[in-house]
Amino acid sequence: MLKRTSSVARVKNGLPLKAKWRRDWQMVLLMIPGVVFLLVFFYLPVIGNVVAFQDFQPYLGIMHSEWNGLQNFVNLYANPDFWDALRNTLLLAAVQLLLFFPVPIGLALIVDSLVSNRFRRWFQTIAYLPHFLSWVLVVTLFQQSLGGAGFINNLLRQAGLDPIPFMTNPDTFPLLVVAQLIWKDAGWAMIIFLAALTTVDVSLYEAAAADGAGRWRRLWHITLPALRTVIVLLLILRIGDILSVGFEQFILQRDSVGPGAAEVLDTFTYYAGVVGGDWSSGAAAGLAKVVVGALLLWGANSLAHRLGEPGIFQRRS
Amino acid sequence: MRPVWKENPSPGYQAIKALILGGFALVIVVPILVVISTSLASDKDIIDAGGYVLWPSHPTVKAYQTLFSGGLMGRAILVSVFVTIVGTAIALAVTIALAYATSRPVLFGRPVLLMVLFTLLFAPGIIPMFLVVKQLGLLDSLWSLILPGALGAFNFVVLRTFFMNVPGELLESARIDGASDFTILRRIIMPLSKAVIAVVGLFYAVGFWNAFFNALLYLNDTSKWPVQVILRTYVLQGKSLSADQLGVHPPPQPQSLQMAVVVVALVPIAMVYPFLQRHFTKGVITGAVKG
């Protein structure tokens, strides 16, 4: 009988490979489908990014296409469309970070302060729902509500006013995008803050109240510090993900708003590569995105460590 | 119950809170209700209301009859249902097996776990994914919608965290009684984790049902389009659902037809939502996030 508890880790590690195999072969078998999936649909495409350094021709394939060093990146550098896409990505990401991020925190604080459980459950039921709707559906609902022929503009017209081009104005597009994101995900994003709020020791509030702290002082000195770790963690994840700003959301609205405002790095990759047939430029843009995203994540995480927060990757001691 | 240390509610604060939460809830609910009402409205209702109907005074299911009498929507629903059911089954099998195998200290457990967690950091990129799917000969096949989504790292983490919390003594005693790892997974782990497996399954199902970009990327053949792509083409882009595609003359108001397409995409989600909601509020998901 071989034990598997960690208290006998030394004994376990001392086992020869053959004995481990005899003990664990069924577990290894269970891993195989997942590992095959990861190799084929994650690690193979990761390696496939080498087409960014090739003059890739589909009929030649990766093995026979010519290598051209950094030429694709040089081309990107000279391509104004790429810079537009990069600028839009950063702008939209910054607007999202500023305007979306605080909303679920605010909502969670209000919901947490509710005394009535019934009202709270009722609100949560409605607020979580849109998270499960597809982007196609969300954008469609926005179009039916705010579009040129949507019901808000219908009402405006019936009232004798000019319709407002909410859905097609490139200048206000970042605000539209944030509104859609808030509609879809602010309620859902609230969950994690609500969970963090339940861990706050109630006696802290009681003591503070006894010492004369009003509701705002309690919020500032107890509630917000309790949320600090979660907020930092989510902020880091958000920053690492910043360049992937809702891809489907943009591809769905690129036609109506125009690429000038709605082209982001991901849609640039899709239209240059898959639609335009310039595979290598698309892959180069995709790769540039991953590298910048990884740097941002790493930077944000180090900053969090510097501030004394655990961050996302725990430092090993 | 209001704790004694809390101030008595001031009407001002109460009103502001109610306004914010109530407003947020209304903004979510009203568009959905308008869409459903309009899909059920008669032609006359729509013309009287000038496009959108808040409450159909002459409710009719004509739009749905028209939608389902043509081949287009029926086929799209079949595609979406197939992808959702088969995809969820495969994804669950792969994820459960991998999550269980890496939840115990076994041979290769550690490196395989790191292999999965690494995928959380970034996506491999659209172009190389497309090239891989093309190389495998999956373009224009429904498998291109299923296989690339067969393992979600987040769902994996949720299941693995749950499996790790199954007490080791339980598994030890089963092993002493001669149970193999397969038996333990089937007879002990899975029955104990029914609720969390159901939730993860629903997450997968919602994901497969909602998937849009994969279909756009990998499928050229319009007869294989899932519901989401139909929704985009005929409602968002406003391409007209012509009488030929629908097979009914004369077709009802385009407005109610379009709204019926929206409702078809919405209904499955609305059906599983109460179940989802009951479980994730129990902390299944947040517990995993914290772990």
Shortest CA distance from A117: residue in chain B: B1
Asked if A34 lies within 8 A of B182 by C-beta distance, the reply is no
Contact residues on chain B for A191, CB-CB shorter than 8 A: 280, 285-286
- Identity at A117, one-letter amino acid code: N
Banded model confidence at residue B291, pLDDT cuts 50, 70, 90: very low
Shortest CA distance from A113: residue in chain B: B17
**Closest CA–CA distance from residue B247 to any residue of chain A (Å):** 25
Instruction: For tokens 């990998």, name the residue.
Output: B218
Q: Can you tell me the distance from the alpha carbon of B180 to that of A225, in angstroms, rounded to the nearest whole number?
A: 48
A59 touches chain B (CB under 8 A): no
Nearest residue, CB atoms, A134 vs list B100, B147, B210: B210
Q: Give the pLDDT confidence score for residue A9 in this predicted structure.
A: 47
Burial of A125 (0-12, 13-18, 19+ CB in 10 A): middle
- Can you tell me the mean pLDDT for B182-196? 91
Asked if A49 lies within 8 A of B124 by C-beta distance, the reply is yes
Which residues 162-181 in chain B show a CB within 8 A of chain A?
Answer: 168, 172, 175-176, 180-181
Shortest CA distance from A266: residue in chain B: B126
Q: Give the pLDDT confidence score for residue B5 in this predicted structure.
A: 77
A287 touches chain B (CB under 8 A): yes
B120 touches chain A (CB under 8 A): no
The rounded percent of chain B whose pLDDT value lies above 90 is: 44
Q: Give the pLDDT confidence score for residue A8 in this predicted structure.
A: 45
Asked if B127 lies within 8 A of A37 by C-beta distance, the reply is no
Q: Give the pLDDT confidence score for residue A90 in this predicted structure.
A: 87
- More confidently predicted of A69 and B207: B207
Collect contacts of B21-29 with beta carbons under 8 A, ≥24 apart. B21/A107, B21/A110, B21/A111, B21/A119, B21/A123, B24/A107, B24/A123, B24/A127, B24/A186, B24/A187, B25/A123, B25/A126, B25/A127, B27/A183, B28/A126, B28/A127, B28/A129, B28/A130, B28/A183, B28/A187, B29/A126
Q: Give the pLDDT confidence score for residue B145 in this predicted structure.
A: 95
Query: A313, A271, A264, A312: which is closest to A288 by C-alpha?
Result: A264
- More confidently predicted of A248 and B96: B96
A179 touches chain B (CB under 8 A): no
B119 touches chain A (CB under 8 A): yes
Contact residues on chain B for A150, CB-CB shorter than 8 A: 52
Q: Share the mean pLDDT of chain B.
A: 86
- Can you tell me the mean pLDDT for B220-233? 90
Whether ipTM > 0.95 holds is: no
Given a contact cutoff of 8 angstroms between Cβ atoms, the answer to whether B95 and B156 are in contact is yes
Banded model confidence at residue B245, pLDDT cuts 50, 70, 90: low
Q: Give the pLDDT confidence score for residue A245 in this predicted structure.
A: 64
Contact residues on chain B for A34, CB-CB shorter than 8 A: 94-95, 97-98, 101, 112, 116, 151, 156
Q: Give the pLDDT confidence score for residue B243 in this predicted structure.
A: 53
- More confidently predicted of A73 and B287: A73
Among A134-148, B55-69, B271-285, the least confident range: B271-285
Sign of CA dihedral A299, A266, B123, B197: positive
B111 touches chain A (CB under 8 A): no
**Closest CA–CA distance from residue B76 to any residue of chain A (Å):** 15
Would the pLDDT of B280 be above 70? no
Query: B91, B96, B94: which is closest to B160 by C-alpha?
Result: B96
Collect contacts of A289-294 with beta carbons under 8 A, ≥24 apart. A289/A89, A289/A243, A289/A244, A289/A265, A289/B125, A290/A49, A290/B122, A290/B123, A290/B125, A292/A243, A293/A240, A293/A241, A293/A242, A293/A243, A293/A244, A293/B122, A294/A240, A294/B121, A294/B122
Q: Would you call B10 helix, strand, or coil by DSSP?
A: coil
Given a contact cutoff of 8 angstroms between Cβ atoms, the answer to whether B44 and B53 are in contact is no
**Closest CA–CA distance from residue B222 to any residue of chain A (Å):** 17
- More confidently predicted of A227 and B47: A227
B47 touches chain A (CB under 8 A): no
A45 touches chain B (CB under 8 A): yes
Q: Would you call B280 helix, strand, or coil by DSSP?
A: helix
A51 touches chain B (CB under 8 A): yes
- Can you tell me the mean pLDDT for B10-31? 91
CA B168 to mean position of chain CA atoms: 33
Banded model confidence at residue B25, pLDDT cuts 50, 70, 90: very high
> Both tokens of residue A246?
């809702």
> Both tokens of residue B260?
């019926």
- More confidently predicted of B187 and B9: B187
- Can you tell me the mean pLDDT for B170-174? 90
Asked if A269 lies within 8 A of B127 by C-beta distance, the reply is yes
Which residues 3-32 in chain A show a CB within 8 A of chain B?
Answer: 3-6, 9, 12, 17, 20-21, 23-24, 26-28, 30-31
Which residues 3-22 in chain B show a CB within 8 A of chain A?
Answer: 3, 5-7, 9, 17, 20-21
Would the pLDDT of B244 be above 80? no
- Can you tell me the mean pLDDT for B76-104? 95
**Closest CA–CA distance from residue A142 to any residue of chain B (Å):** 8
- Can you tell me the mean pLDDT for B256-262? 87
pLDDT in tens, B104-159: 888 898 999 999 988 877 788 889 999 999 999 999 999 999 999 899 988 999 89
B151 touches chain A (CB under 8 A): yes
Asked if A48 lies within 8 A of B131 by C-beta distance, the reply is yes
Instruction: For tokens 């005394």, name the residue.
Output: A115
Per-residue three-class SS string for chain A: CCCCCHHHHHHHHHCCHHHHHHHHHHHHHHHHHHHHHHHHHHHHHHHHHHHHHEECCCCCHHHHCEECCCHHHHHHHCCHHHHHHHHHHHHHHHHHHHHCCHHHHHHHHHHHHCCCHHHHHHHHHHHHHHHHCCHHHHHHHHHHHHCCCCHHHHHHHHCCCCCCCCCCCHHHHHHHHHHHHHHHHHHHHHHHHHHHHHCCCHHHHHHHHHCCCCHHHHHHHHHHHHHHHHHHHHHHHHHHCHHHCCHHHHHHHHHHHCHHHHCCHHHHHHHHHHHCCCHHHHHHHHHHHHHHHHHHHHHHHHHHHHCCCCCCCCCCC
Q: Give the pLDDT confidence score for residue B32 in this predicted structure.
A: 92
**Closest CA–CA distance from residue B64 to any residue of chain A (Å):** 18
pLDDT in tens, chain A (317 residues): 444 544 444 445 568 888 888 888 999 999 999 999 999 999 999 999 988 898 888 888 888 888 888 889 998 999 999 999 989 988 888 898 899 999 999 999 999 888 788 888 889 889 999 999 999 999 999 988 888 888 888 888 888 888 888 888 888 999 999 999 999 999 988 988 988 888 888 888 888 888 888 888 888 998 998 888 888 888 887 777 777 767 889 999 988 888 888 899 889 999 998 898 889 989 999 888 888 888 888 888 888 888 777 766 655 44
Asked if A127 lies within 8 A of B25 by C-beta distance, the reply is yes
Contact residues on chain A for B92, CB-CB shorter than 8 A: none
Contact residues on chain A for B181, CB-CB shorter than 8 A: 24, 26-27, 30
